[in-house]
Amino acid sequence: MHDPRIDQLANVLLDHSCQIKKGERVFIEAFDLPEPTLVCQLVEGAAKRGASAVVSWKSNEILRSLYKSGTDESMKFIGELDLARMQKMAAYIGIRGAANSSQFADVPQPKMDLYQKHWWKPVADYRVGKTKWVVLRYPTDSFAQAANMSTAAFEDFYFDVCTADYAAMAKAQQPLVARMQKADRIRIVAPGTELEFSIKGIPIIPCAGDRNIPDGEVFTAPVRDSINGHIRFNTQSRYQGTVYENVEFEFKNGKIVDAKANDTEKINSILDSDEGARYCGEWAIGVNNRVRHPMLDTLFDEKIGGSFHLTPGQAYEIADNGNRSRIHWDLVLIQRPDYGGGEIWFDGELLRKDGRFLPADLQGLNEGL
C-alpha cells in the first residue's frame, strides 16, 4: 500500500532540507530500513528535479562485524573510499532504521575508537562542513518499542513530528536567537544540577528542519573553559549501542573532572578517548513541543520541548569554541515539572522556568507545551 506520508517526507528532505538543484549529486545512505519505499521516492524525486542519486544500503549487523574485526589499516582504507565518494556529492541524506538498537553494544571500545577515528570522523567532517546534509530516523518496530508505543501509533506520531511546519518553527525561534546572541553568562538549575558557563562570542544557530528531521533546537557552544558546577541528566542515552542513565558530570574550568553513570567505567573510557572528549562542544535549547518524552533516540530526544542538551566532544564549525574530539554526545535534561522542573538564566534574568519561556517575545515557543 502506497503511503502518501512517505511522499510528503521525501519532498521535505529534497526541497526544504537539502534544497536539491538541477545537476547536483545526492548521496542517500540507508541503515537497517525495513523496506525501501522512502529511498525509492528520494531517488525518483531527485531525478524529477534534474539531480542524480547514489545509494548505499547498509546493514548494522554487517557493520558490527566490520567494526569488531577492524584494524588501523582496514578502517583507514574504508574511510578513504567513503571520503572520496562524499567529496563528489553536493548533498547527503542519511536514514537510519534499526532492527536492533543495541547492535554495537558488544563492540570493544578500542575497536569503536578505530572506526570513529579513521572512518567516521574524516567522512563526517567533510559531510558536515561541505555538503547540504540531513539525517533522520525511520519508524521501525524496535523504535516504536523504545518509545513504548504500538507500531501504528508510533508511525502516526513520527510522520506528524517529521513533517511539521518548519517555516513557522523558524519564525518562532528568531527572538530566542536574538537573546542568545546578546547573552554572556548562562546559569542552569535543576535537581542535582547547578551549572554556569559563558556563550559570549559563539555563533547562535537556529535549527528548523535543515539538517535534522525532526527538528526544533537553537544551539551554540559554551566558551570551552568556562563551564563550572555539576549536572545530573534525567534522560537515558544510547551511545555506541550502550544505554546510559543517571549520568552525572562535575565540571572545573570547562573540563569534566568527575563522571558517573550506571556504567561509570565505560562512560569514563568514552570520555578518555581523546583530549577534547572531556570538554563540551555544544549547548542547545530544545523547542519541539510535539516531542515530549524520551525514546532513547538522540535525534528525537534532543528536540524535546522544555529540554536542553549539553554535548561532550566535537564542536560544530558553524558554532565553534575550538574543541576537537572524535566524540559528539548529546545528553538531554528535561526541565518540565513532570521531569523535576528547573530554570535557565541569561545574565541574571530568568528566561525559562519548568520548561516554559517567561519573556513576552518568547511565548510563541511555548505553543502546545
Closest CA to 310 of 326, 330, 296, 328: 330
Residue 23 has pLDDT above 60, yes or no: yes
pLDDT at 209 over 90: no
Q: Are 245 and 231 spatial neighbours (Cβ–Cβ below 8 Å)? A: no
Tell me the average pLDDT across 186-213.
95
Query: Residue 51 to residues 17, 54, 130, 132: CA-CA distances in angstroms?
Result: 15, 10, 18, 14
Q: What is the enclosing helix (H) or strand (E) of 284?
A: strand 280-286
CA–CA separation, 369 and 366 (whole Å): 5
> Who contacts 21 (Cβ-Cβ below 8 Å, separation ≥6)?
49, 50, 51, 90
pLDDT of residue 101 exceeding 80, the answer is no
Q: What percent of the chain has pLDDT over 90?
A: 85
Mean pLDDT of 129-149: 90
- Locate cell 516504536: which residue? 144
Percentages of the chain per state (helix, strand, coil), in multiples of 5: 35, 25, 35
In angstroms, the CA 225 to CA 114 distance is 28
d(CA 113, CA 130): 24
201-228 mean pLDDT: 95
What is the pLDDT at residue 299?
Answer: 87
Q: Kindly report, residue by residue over 154-192, the tens digit of the pLDDT.
A: 999 999 888 888 888 999 999 999 999 999 999 999 999
> With 80 as the cut, is the pLDDT of residue 99 above it?
no
d(CA 8, CA 23): 23
Q: What is the pLDDT of residue 105?
A: 87
Structural domains of the chain ordered from first start: 4-162 (3.40.1830.10), 166-366 (no CATH)
| For range 128-155, the mean pLDDT | 91
* Whether residue 85 has pLDDT greater than 60: yes
DSSP annotation string for 144-199: HHHTTS-HHHHHHHHHHHHT--HHHHHHHHHHHHHHHHH--EEEEEETTEEEEEE-
- Tell me, what's the pLDDT at 211? 85
Interval 316-321 mean pLDDT: 94
Q: What is the pLDDT of residue 244?
A: 97
The per-residue pLDDT for 340 is 98
Q: Are strands 185-190 and 237-239 parallel, antiparallel or unpaired?
A: unpaired
Q: What is the mean pLDDT of the chain?
A: 95
β pairing state of 132-137 and 248-252: unpaired
Nearest-angstrom CA–CA distance, 70 and 67 = 5
Judged against a pLDDT cut of 70, whether residue 1 lies above it is answered with no
Residues 6+ apart with CB under 8 A from 18: 26, 91, 92, 93, 132, 133, 134
Q: In this structure, are residues 120 and 76 in contact, taking their beta carbons and an 8 Å threshold?
A: no
- pTM equals 0.83
Verify cis geometry, omega within 30 degrees of 0, for the bond prior to 214. yes
